[in-house]
Structure 1
């Protein structure tokens, strides 16, 4: 098993109108989270025409990433080739993979690149299989169900969410007796 668990923080919900402001990822090899093989960066949000995008205050309240924090960060055209190289030929995992992969596909297309991981796995879908009678499957609820804790200040920051998502992924696979 060799997967990259990743998470994005964004300026909003639309891959076409909004921008990525942070990427976090960690590699899982043979069922072990390899904390030394991680990827983490802030991203300066830019519009399609190259103009800077501002992080709306209501979104900043969620993830805590401010315009000042990303002022000197690299842009997506600088970050994306590096991140794609980190992922390599691995499968990817995310909590609500459709959201994160949608942003990656849109950004790759804008950068003249391709987002085409070997496979995509979703911890929301695994959670629904493991807990079919439960209605809520967001990452906070899933972490509580599995007895996992976020690092202080880690919730709604890419790498903090990735750490919990990676642990949840491994536990859900074990619960479901699934190999990926």
Structure 2
């Protein structure tokens, strides 16, 4: 069970129109979350001409990342190679992998790179298998079901969500193994 758990914060829901404003990732090695092996950065969103993009108010209300916070941050073209190096040939995990993976596929394609991890695992899908009677499998509800807590100010920030997703991944696999 050696994977990289990652999370993105974005300006919206469309990988083609919206931008990544934060990337967080952490390793899970041998069933343990490795806190000191992490990747975390804010990203300054820019358009194809390199002009800054504003973070919509609605997005700021969700993740709390403002234009001022990303003003001095690196651009995605500078961040992506380092993130891809961090992931290496590991399998990856995210909560709702379709969303985050879609953003990474679109972003790497725009920058002449490729997002093709060895395998992609989704804690939302694992939650559906582990808790089939539940209607919602949002990360905050999954955390509550598994007895996990977000650090203060950690919800909807990449590394805060990554920590909980990583712990949830480990516990979900244990739960599904026991029930198998």
TM range (shorter): over 0.9
Q: Which runs of 5+ in 1 are unaligned?
A: none
> Take 2:83 and 2:41, find their aligned partners in 1: how far apart are those partners?
10
The 3-state SS of whatever aligns with 1:162 is helix
* 2:148 alignment partner in structure 1: 148
Show the counterpart of 2:24. Answer: 24
Aligned to 1:117: 117
Q: 1:149-176: CA deviations, max 9, x gaps?
A: 0000000000000000000000000000
**1:11 matched to 2:5:** no
Equivalent position SS for 1:33: strand
Partner Cα separation in structure 2 for residue 47 and residue 125 of structure 1: 33
Paired position in structure 2 for 1:60? 60
Q: Aligned-pair distance for 1:107?
A: 0.5
Cα deviation, residue 97, structure 1: 0.1
Question: Normalising to structure 1: TM-score of the pair?
Answer: 0.97
Matches within 5 A, 1:125-144: 125-144=125-144
Give, in angstroms, the shift of residue 48 of structure 1: 2.6
* Distance in 2 (alpha carbons) for counterparts of 1:58 and 1:7: 19
Q: Identify the residue that residue 102 of structure 1 maps to in structure 2.
A: 102
* Partner of residue 168, structure 2: 168
- Cα separation, 2, equivalents of 1:131 and 1:47: 41
> Counterpart in 2 of 1:35?
35
Gap runs ≥5 in structure 2: none
Alignment size in residue pairs = 178
Residue by residue over 1:111-148, the C-alpha shift from the partner in whole angstroms, topping out at 9 and shown as x without a partner, is 10000001000000000000001000000000000110
Q: Distance in 1 between matches of 2:77 and 2:152?
A: 31
CA distance, structure 1, for counterparts of residue 109 and residue 166 of structure 2 = 27
* Secondary structure of 2:163 counterpart: helix
SS in 2 for 1:177: helix
Q: Distance in 2 between matches of 1:140 and 1:35?
A: 20
- Cα distance in structure 2, aligned partners of 1:3 and 1:118: 10
Q: 2:88 maps to which residue?
A: 88
- Deviation, structure 1 residue 58: 1.2
Cα distance between partner residues in 1 of 2:58 and 2:124: 25
